[in-house]
Amino acid sequence: MLLKRILMSFLLLTTAWSVQAETTKFYDLAFPNLEGKEVSLSEYKGKVVLLNFWATWCPPCVREMPSMQRLQDKFADQPFEIVAINAGESADAIEAFLLGLDNELTFTILLDEKSRSFQEFRIPGLPMSYLISKDGELLETIMGGREWDDEKQVALVEEALAQ
């Protein structure tokens, strides 16, 4: 058990370090939205971005979606955006998922049907989120699901917006 924890800690540290080295590529990436239009992440320059990787088959991913929407709503009048990139599913699958939700999601959802983001960002699992500064710098690497509108997560966004 101790060995497993040590290995997992090492994996998280090396993943976070390698992702930080890759954030210069953040603005170079582009993915299609649900309508098939290519969206470049460079469109988010000057904004704090919560970049979230998720899938409909991932229970923690699905659980955190309502709190992500509440976080987006809380900072709606500020330079903050949530961009959720679905890993490996089709637009039809995402549309069906969205229709089954109680509340509409208004943040940006992009598609990575070939799961290339796993290689680009060296993502070890889902959900995986990155808080990116207005200048494109990696501020936080967040592994696993969160309640995005709790005090700690709101404070992270407020701090990023104040920079």
What's the pLDDT tens digit per position in 82-101?
999 999 999 999 999 999 99
Residue 159 is predicted with a pLDDT of 97
Residue 27: the pLDDT is 83
Tokens of 43: 């469109």
Q: Is 150 helix (H, G, I), strand (E, B) or coil?
A: coil
pLDDT for position 67: 97
Q: Tell me the C-alpha distance between 64 and 143, whole Å.
A: 12
pLDDT, tens digit only, all 163 positions of the chain: 433 333 333 344 334 434 443 444 778 889 999 999 999 999 999 999 999 999 999 999 999 999 999 999 999 999 999 999 999 999 999 999 999 999 999 999 999 998 887 777 788 889 999 999 999 999 999 999 999 999 999 999 999 999 9
CA atoms within 13 A on the CB side of 87: 23
Q: Tell me the whole-structure pTM to 2 decimals.
A: 0.84
Q: What angle do CA 15, 30, 78 make, to 5 degrees?
A: 85
